[in-house]
Structure 1
Amino acid sequence: MRKKMAAALGSAALLATTLLSGSASAAPAGAAWLCGDAWYSSRAEGHAWIQYCEDKNVIVATVTDDKADGRCPRVSGYLYNGRSYVHSLSVGPKGASRYVEIFAPGGDWFYTAGVSWESC
């Protein structure tokens, strides 16, 4: 019950912090993951189409760098139990895109996810 309530709260938080658009697919054709609908997340450095997969144990996304600013966007997933982040590989330079997968450590799952960045 706690997991379902936390998932509902996490979904509400995502609605407040990301722009939801349609159901575009972040996973490439033929991907073996069981995933939900994709949502769009962006910030000045870049954007991503993100999906939770396998009961929020995996995040798949396509990340794009939108600005030549020395900051490379990546997807960051916030863990429910560990209260820490797991980051994907970053993408750059401007205009580059990358498909990424990130995994929650055993016994944990992703509470929320979005675009972050690192210097590149």
Structure 2
Amino acid sequence: MSKSRLAVPGAAVAALALAALFLPATGANAAPSADSCTNNWSLSSAEGYANGKWCNYDTKVIGTVHDTKADGRCPYVRGGLSNGGYVDSDWAGGKGKSRSFTLRAPSNTRFTSLSMRYIGC
């Protein structure tokens, strides 16, 4: 092998490594895009209240649910979907307790409504 043949592969590897430094990140290593959370929402019931924001063209809902009564009922939020299904938040349990949540709509659906519900706890 001649020296010129050995130098070419090394130069190619160096060029690829250098190019990788300047290419934008894509795929799994890409930085997540910022959410677009434009509209506020709030709900209340005898068991508590919840509030938050609609995000990403109603495909994501963020918020916090609060339990305001020592009644053995723990409130949660149900997000109604455009396909007739629903997604439930975690519940807040015990008077004075709160729980933050994020609801995500499955692919090809969006949230069309929110309601307060409760479970016995």
TM-score (ref. length: structure 2)? 0.68
Q: Displacement of 1:39 after TM fit?
A: 2.2
The unaligned stretches of length 5 or more in structure 1 are 1-31
Please provide the CA RMSD for this pair: 1.1
The residue number in structure 1 matching 2:58 is 56
Aligned to 2:87: 86
The match for 2:113 is 112
Total equivalences in the alignment: 88
CA distance in 2, matches of 1:44, 1:92: 14
- Seq. identity, %: 40
Could you list the structure 1 runs, at least 4 aligned residues long, displaced by more than 2 angstroms after superposition: none
Shift of residue 70, structure 1, vs aligned partner: 1.2
Distance of 2:35 and 2:114 partners within structure 1: 17
**What are the ranges of 5 or more consecutive residues in structure 2 without an aligned counterpart?**
1-33
Q: Distance in 2 between matches of 1:37 and 1:109?
A: 15
- Of Structure 1 and Structure 2, the greater helix share is in 2
Q: What secondary structure does 1:38 align onto?
A: strand
Residue range with higher mean Cα deviation, 87-96 or 33-42: 33-42
Comparing both chains, which one has the higher relative contact order based on Cα–Cα distances under 8 Å and sequence gaps of 6 or more?
Answer: 1
- Name the TM-score, length of structure 1 as normaliser: 0.69
Q: Secondary structure at the match of 2:102?
A: strand
SS at match of 2:38: coil
Give, as a single letter, the amino acid of the residue that structure 2 aligns with 1:75.
V
Q: How far does residue 71 in structure 1 lie from its aligned partner after superposition?
A: 1.1
- Counterpart in 2 of 1:39? 41
**Which structure has the larger Rg over C-alpha atoms?**
2
Q: Is the 8 A contact 1:35 1:54 kept in 2?
A: yes
Alignment of structure 1 residues 23-34 onto 2, 5 Å: 32-34=34-36
Q: Deviations over 1:11-46 (max 9, x none)?
A: xxxxxxxxxxxxxxxxxxxxx421123122100011
Aligned residue for 1:74, secondary structure, equals: strand
Aligned to 2:75: 73
Task: Within 5 Å, give how 1:9-20 maps onto structure 2.
Answer: none
